[in-house]
Amino acid sequence: MAAQGKNKTLLKLQRMEMSLVRAWLAHPDLMPERHFRRLRYILGFARLYRFAPGAALRGPRRPDIDVDPAVVEPFRELVLRALYRPLHREESLRERLAQSAAVLSPLDAALADARPRLLAHHRADFSEAELDAEVGRKALVTIAGGGGGAGFVYIGAAARLRAEGLSSDYLVGASIGALIGAFLARSRQLDIDALMAWAKALSLRSIFGRPHIGATHTLPGLMRLHLRAMHKVMQHPDGTPMRLSDLEIPYEAVVGGVRKRVYDHLPAAARTFLSRQNSSARFSKLLAERMLMLGTFVNPNVVRPLVLGRDVGTRGIRVADAVGLSAAIPAVLQYEPPARDALTDEILARLREEHEVALFVDGGVAANVPARIAWEGVEGGRIGTRNAFYLALDCFHPQFEPQHLWLWPVTQIMQLQLPSQRPYFDWLMRFEPTLSPVNLLPSPQDFDQAFQWGWQQADAMIPFLKKALEPVTWQQP
């Protein structure tokens, strides 16, 4: 398949399977579960084109294998002809199930012919168990969007998922989503209570400082984001810094790169430092003004998305540096670490030259809910398997609470990115209420409130998520 056509077809099949899951959860009495599971296996088999044997079993992973198109492509076309209309076009959930059930028998027969032929062709490449795992098991991919202090609800949502035994297999984050995602990616056995205790003990000086004078990798801002406390915790026992390659769960941080050709034309306030002689009232006014400037950067002609951790060449970046760069809100937060790291600086200098960017900014202005970036990572082989469920978390959208209304223009602009991301996620969790986006260092009471909001709102997605992630196996009809 040509790349563009292949991607469209894979996305169709992804949407069709999720459509089936929704219909069955609404009316489980209309279709035996064994038929539902067989239809899911059929859709998964139709989506085969490349995978790394062993990856879906979470065991040793071997190099990618391209499956035989002579076997899979005719089967894929048959599945699309039979199931595309009921699962993609049919509005009635009852009719989706009825029409899908009506074509199950011929699809079963086609699968019973295609599956052994594929196994015979690839007998030296992968086992039956590896094939069935790739077809029937989904990795959980979590995409955590930006939004400043509003994003602390993600901690509660992550705790709720882990209470159900669910842990991400791949994390992609922007801004506050990159920060929380980095902690979650550190270990599959992360102690959420310990994370909350650490966060509550943070002081202003452990995260922020006065603006840095001198060369940096990010735009100037009202405050310096140095993340001293995060640098201390993101260390190995011997005191060496933890780098992106050291995280247990595959993780990527999205940053924005300001294109060189437009940098000199940005508003002056975005390129100059704030004088240190300002009253708190003046500072609050400037903070509000500069938050409203974000719309200047939400433009692909101004800022391009870059992904730290996607390729091996960027995985040497310190974890805290990747987070700081992703959270550097233009003209508000300037990231400059407590101490520079030679390897990180070398990698960032290379990225700036290769991608023709002047400086880095908050990843949220480039892709605030970076679902497409995550999907492309999976399809590009980041985690080996190509069978995944994409869970998107969004905390930065228009809300009617008084503390959010002044940000309405910015959140509206940021939401204009969402339609381009919509084809790539399976579930979008839009959190409301949240803390204010400018509440960057909440009080212990605010942390507890955000945790509870995240935990409670995650309840809505648990039934769908668990059913979509439930493994299905080959069964002879």
Residues with active-site annotation = 175, 362
What tokens appear for 218 in the block? 């990010």
For tokens 């959140």, name the residue. 411
| Strand 427-430 relative to strand 333-335, pairing | unpaired
Quick one: which of 138, 207, 203 has its CA closest to 176? 207
CA-to-CA distance for 375 and 387, rounded, in angstroms? 10
143 pairs with which residues across the strands? 172, 392
Tokens describing residue 204: 């202003």
Tokens read off for 103: 């074509």
CA distances (Å), origin 398, targets 177, 331, 470? 18, 22, 34
Is the preceding peptide bond at 433 cis, omega within 30 degrees of 0? yes
CA distances, 354 to each of 316, 348, 388, 442 (Å): 17, 10, 31, 38
Say how many CA atoms lie within 13 Å of 448 toward its Cβ.
Answer: 4
Cβ–Cβ < 8 Å for 115, 45 = yes
**Contact (CB, 8 A) for 128 and 356:** no
Query: CA-CA distance, 259 to 233, in Å (whole number)?
Result: 33
Strands (E), 297-368: 303-308, 333-335, 357-361
